[in-house]
Structures are given as C-alpha cells and as structure tokens.
Chain A
Amino acid sequence: MSQVLVELVKKHFPEAVLETHAQHGDDTAVIEPGAWKAVHRFLFEAPEARMSMLVDLTAVDFPDRDPRFEVVSHLMSLEKGHRLRLKARVGDPDGDDAEVDSLADIWASANWMERECWDMLGVTFRGHPDLRRILLYPEFVGHPLRKDYPADKIQPLIEYRDVENIDKLAPFGVDEGMSFGRQTHAGVVDPDADEDAQVN
C-alpha cells in the first residue's frame, strides 16, 4: 500500500536508499544515515506524503554486524492513513560513532524518544536540544540495552545495607521461605525420590 511512498523516496533520494522491503503490508526503506534528516523532512513536508506523526523512534543492536546499530523510525500520516518505516545503519562494532541527526525540530515527539534511545543504546542524535538520560539516573555508566552490557550488572545509587548475606536475607533462605519453593535441603518433597516414600 505504501509502496507508493517507497517509490517517492527512491525518486527524490536515489543515492540515499540502500534497500527496501515489505513485510505484512508494512514497507521499509533502509537509507543512508547521512540522509536521515533530509528524508524525514521531505516525508513530513511533501504533499503526497504528509507524515504528520512520528509513531516510534528506536534502535536495535546487532552485535555481529558492521554497522552495528539500526536506528528505526515509524512514520504515519494522519491525513492519508499510510505508514512507512525507515532504517539507518550506524556505528562501528565497538559501539562508537553511532550518530544520526536529531528529528526533534520536525516532530516534537522525537525529543523524548531520542533521549530514550540514547539512554538505552547510546545512539547519539546530532542537534538534539537536550540529550541526557530520560529513564535512568545521570550516574549510570553505559547503555543497558546494548548486547554487550552484562545482564547481571547493577549500579546502585545508594549503598546496600551493611548486613551479612545481603543477597539472601532471611526469610529467603535455602527454601525461599516456602516448603514448596526451590528445595535444596533435606526433609522436603523431592520429585526424584522414591514415589512410595513420597506419599507419606
């Protein structure tokens, strides 16, 4: 349906469109990161497109690819009812140089979505009016949705209490406080035990 839009973008930016595909009726155009803002401004302003709404703006981390990140934007026209998804591939395998232009002066909603994207994945948006963390706290180091962020790494703002065994405080001992919890000690129902012995 929005194949027309893809053709429109291709016509006006023949150099910038790297590839296109369609899935489940949604068309996607992968564009040069350098043309990120120009294509968006064109789609916002062109009378055939009239993409008045930036539905979502986020990024995806592909740790094995180069460029590593895919910045994704979902556009919709409230007037015409059509949609288009745009992608730009940025960043080297170390996660540096992931930069595209900010869309905040085209759609005001891009402001917070770009802040979230920077907070979670470390994609920098050039020309953003106020690019700082939106969900996490300023003291946080790193970007947690990057695939190389350790899954169990926490950065507490305040020190934990100075008590012994802080990871497993009573009553959350070996049996997690419940007789039917993950049992690791003797004297409880054991699924692998002899069935006759288990009944009583």
Chain B
Amino acid sequence: MGEMKAEEVLETGVGEGFVTTRLVPLLSWAQKYSLFMYPFVTACCGMEFMSVSSPRYDFSRFGSEAPRFSPRQADLLWVVGTITQRQAPVLKRIYEQMADPKWVLAFGTCASCGGFYDNYACVAGLDKIIPADVYVPGCPPRPEGVLDALMLLQDKIQRGDNTPGVVKPRRDPATDQSMGLIEIRRSKKTV
C-alpha cells in the first residue's frame, strides 16, 4: 500500500515532506489524472460525448478535461461514432501521430464493433485498425457508462494493464430480476 500513502500525502499536501514510491506507479498515477483527450467524433454519439463533457456530468473531475486538437499533444483518443472505410486511414494516421503512452477509448457500439452497420461502407469496430483499451457499449452509452469507462481506464493505467476491457452495466440484466429480462425470456417461451 505504498502507493496509497504517497497518493494521500501528495493530494493533501501534509506529511513529512517526502514520500517514497516506485517510479512506475508514480508515473502511472500522474498519467491517469492527466488524460489529455483527442475527440475523434464522427456520428450521433457525439451528442452524448458533449453531454458527458459538459457540467452536468463533467468528466473533467477525472482529470480528463483538456481537449487537444493535435494528436501530438493528446494521450487519450476518444473514438466517438461510426468509422467508415473511407475514414479508416485518417483514424490510423491520427493514432500513429500520438506520442506514447497513448490510450484508445471506443465510445458506443459502432466504434466498438460496428453495431448494425454491417455493410460495405463501415469498419466493424475500430480495433480492426488500431488497438483499443476500453470499450463502452451503448447506442449511445449513458453518461455513467462513459464515466465508468474513464475510471476503468484509470484503473488499467495504474495497474499497467494493457488488455482491453469492456464497461459492464452497473446492474446486470442477466441476474437482476427487477430489470425484467429473465421474465421476458420466460414469457417468450410460454407463447
């Protein structure tokens, strides 16, 4: 729990004047609270993205406030919306222009896996082109889902975990009886 103590000391500004930690966790701690974002907004999810970035949901609380419209200054690539085959080279180029360390967030179903755009025009998920770190399902995702994604990404950065993760719903419809999914499936069976 050495990192935790360092965090407390740094955040409150009290203590004995110095902390000990390892370099990598310290860097990760700094990185996860300064995710300069590059919004690659292509479709209707952009509305939800604006909602999350505006004061009501306000993801600047997570240190992810500053948009940088140059990929060279950005850490986190938000891919918000459908990626068409025509746009794919652009997206790849932007990703390649970003300096390491860099992360990619797939915002919404289209960016994650193409959604219902299973056709000649669209890429079935940005991970065909560039690696993604966090997927947010939803069409569009709810703001709390996006905030969960941001916290999941911060957690991954702190742990040095490079495997992709998907945001789970806060309540699981498969096991939460009050959400009615099980009843729906049952009623289908009885018909």
Interface residues of A, Cβ cutoff 8 Å to B: 135-137, 144, 149, 151-158, 160-161, 166-167, 169-172, 177-180, 188-189, 191-192, 195, 198
B residues 27-83 in Cβ contact with A at 8 Å? none
Residues of B close to A188: CB separation below 8 A: 174
What residues of B have a CB within 8 angstroms of the CB of A152 in the complex?
A: 118
Please classify the interface of chain A as helix (H, G, I), strand (E, B), loop, or mixed, using the class held by over half of its residues. loop
- Chain A contacts for B112, CB-based, 8 A: 172
> In the complex, A154 Cα to B119 Cα: how many Å?
7
A169 lies within 8 A of B168 (CB) = no
Given contacts A156-B88, A179-B175, contact A161 B113 (CB under 8 A): no
Chain A residues positioned under 8 Å from B172 (CB to CB): 179-180
Does B97 reach chain A (CB closer than 8 Å)? Answer: no
- Quick check: which of B12-20, B126-134, B139-147 contacts chain A, the rest being far away? B126-134
Could you say which of B113, B120, B129 contacts A153, with CB atoms under 8 Å apart? Answer: B120
A152 to B181 CA separation, bound complex (whole angstroms): 31
Q: Can you spell out 10 A-B residue pairs with CB atoms less than 8 angstroms apart?
A: A154-B119, A156-B88, A158-B88, A158-B129, A167-B124, A170-B163, A170-B164, A172-B112, A180-B173, A189-B181
- Return the contact of A171 from the options B118, B166, B175 (Cβ within 8 A): B166
B107 at interface by CB-CB < 8 Å: no
Instruction: Determine whether the beta carbon of A191 is less than 8 Å from that of B185.
Output: yes
Q: Can you name the residue of chain A whose Cβ is closest to the Cβ of B91?
A: A158
CA distance A138 to B31 in the complex (A): 41
Chain B nearest CB, measured from A93 CB (Å): 22
Range class of the B interface residue count: 35 or more
Residues in B98-122 with C-beta less than 8 Å from chain A: 112-113, 118-121
B177 CB, min distance to chain A CBs, angstroms: 8
| Nearest B residue to A189, CB-CB | B174
Does B186 count as interface, using CB distance less than 8 angstroms?
yes
Please report the C-alpha to C-alpha distance between residue A135 and residue B86 in the assembled complex, in whole angstroms. 9
Q: Does B5 contact A (CB under 8 A)?
A: no
Please, which residues of chain A bring their CB within 8 A of the CB of B186? 191, 195, 198
In the bound complex, do residue B85 and residue A171 qualify as a contact, i.e. CB atoms below 8 Å apart?
Answer: no
Question: In the docked arrangement, what's the CA distance between A169 and B114, Å?
Answer: 13
Q: Which of A158, A172, A179, A191 contacts B113 (CB 8 A)?
A: A172
Known: A154-B85, A157-B86, A177-B137. A191 touches B189 (CB 8 A): yes
Knowing A158-B129, A180-B172, say if A189 contacts B182 (CB, 8 Å): yes
Inter-chain contact A166/B128, CB cutoff 8 Å: yes
Report which of B120, B131, B182 forms a contact with A161, defined as CB distance below 8 A: B131
Contact of B130 among A144, A161, A179 (CB under 8 A): A161
Q: Which of A153, A154, A192 has the most CB of B within 10 A?
A: A154
Is there an interface contact between A136 and B123, defined as CB atoms closer than 8 Å? Answer: no
